[in-house]
């Protein structure tokens, strides 16, 4: 477990709560007994990992707010993106950050705005995902069994059973938010899962996949890594501005094997 790290992506904006979330980003909204989703996510992960292994990825304008929300967060565990570039850049940048701390790190990247009702089950699924990602050269994702036809979520189609003991499957494909008819069909077929947006991987595996399927991003990240090593902040910001703005689903997950 010493090589396990979690990165909570808290830089997005929850449009389903618009216009409230324009003033208060969704991760910071106090929706459940006065606790924010970010606070709940941090505490949930801290039951599995040492708090020093839980990092928060945030954009510059939300950095102070994050420090106020999580005063116990070590300053070095706040990953500040120069600007929002969607999840592919965020995950790549955060992975570099973690690997500078531990080169053989296994990283879980997950959204800050999830509400989890079955926390023990979630923790066990995440623990298994870490172990699986540690031992195989693949990216692991957590799928949610759909309870209804839902058009607001992306889907994952499962293929061959990979580990029967834990219901782990190979992924056949990722599907973007479907029409209602398609969502009903997915529910009936029984081999589709909601895409949770949670990905677990060895750092070296992610960077290898980016080099193969997202070479423009990978090239930019190589320069950014040098800036992180040598503390060249202005060049880092310039390189970050040039990174492609694309989600990890579109940029990588729909292509990787």
pLDDT of residue 112: 93
pLDDT of residue 164: 73
Percent of the chain whose pLDDT exceeds 70: 95
Q: How many Å apart are CA 119 and CA 121, to the nearest integer?
A: 5
pLDDT of residue 15: 42
Structural domains in the chain, CATH included, are 4-141+197-244 (3.90.550.10)
Contact 151, 187 (CB under 8 A): no
Within a 10 A sphere around the Cβ of 19, how many other Cβ atoms? 7
Q: For residue 62, give the DSSP letter.
A: G
pLDDT of residue 12: 58
pLDDT one digit per residue (tens) for the chain, 257 residues: 899 999 999 975 544 434 444 567 888 888 777 889 999 999 999 999 999 999 999 999 999 999 999 999 999 999 999 999 999 999 999 999 999 999 999 999 999 988 888 889 999 999 999 999 999 999 999 999 999 999 999 999 999 888 777 789 999 999 989 999 999 999 999 999 999 999 999 999 999 999 999 999 999 999 999 999 998 889 999 999 999 999 999 999 988 87
Q: Where does the chain have alpha helices with state H?
A: 20-23, 37-46, 63-69, 86-101, 119-135, 180-189, 203-213, 215-230, 233-241, 248
- DSSP conformation letters of 133-151: HHHSSS-EEEEE--SS--S
pLDDT of residue 118: 87
């Amino acid at each position: 477990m010493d090589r396990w790290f979690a990165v909570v992506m808290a830089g997005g904006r929850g449009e389903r709560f618009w216009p409230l979330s324009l003033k208060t980003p969704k991760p910071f909204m106090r929706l459940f007994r006065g606790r924010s989703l970010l606070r709940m996510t941090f505490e949930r992960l801290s039951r599995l990992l040492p708090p020093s292994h839980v990092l928060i990825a945030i954009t510059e304008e939300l950095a102070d707010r994050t420090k106020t929300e999580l005063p116990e967060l070590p300053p070095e565990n706040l990953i500040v993106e120069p600007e929002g570039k969607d999840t592919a850049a965020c995950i790549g940048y955060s992975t570099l950050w973690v690997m500078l701390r531990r080169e053989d790190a296994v990283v879980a990247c997950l959204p800050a705005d999830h509400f989890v009702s079955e926390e023990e089950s979630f923790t066990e699924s995440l623990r298994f995902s870490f172990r699986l990602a540690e031992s195989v050269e693949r990216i692991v994702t957590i799928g949610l069994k759909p309870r209804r036809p839902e058009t607001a979520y992306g889907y994952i189609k499962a293929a061959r059973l990979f580990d029967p003991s834990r219901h782990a499957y190979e992924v056949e494909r990722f599907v973007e938010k479907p029409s209602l008819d398609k969502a009903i069909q997915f529910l009936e077929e029984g081999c589709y899962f909601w895409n949770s947006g949670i990905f677990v991987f060895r750092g070296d595996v992610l960077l290898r996949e980016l080099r193969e399927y997202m070479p423009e991003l990978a090239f930019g990240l190589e320069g950014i890594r040098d800036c992180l090593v040598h503390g060249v902040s202005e060049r880092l910001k310039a390189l970050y501005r040039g990174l492609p703005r694309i989600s990890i689903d579109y940029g990588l997950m729909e292509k990787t094997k």
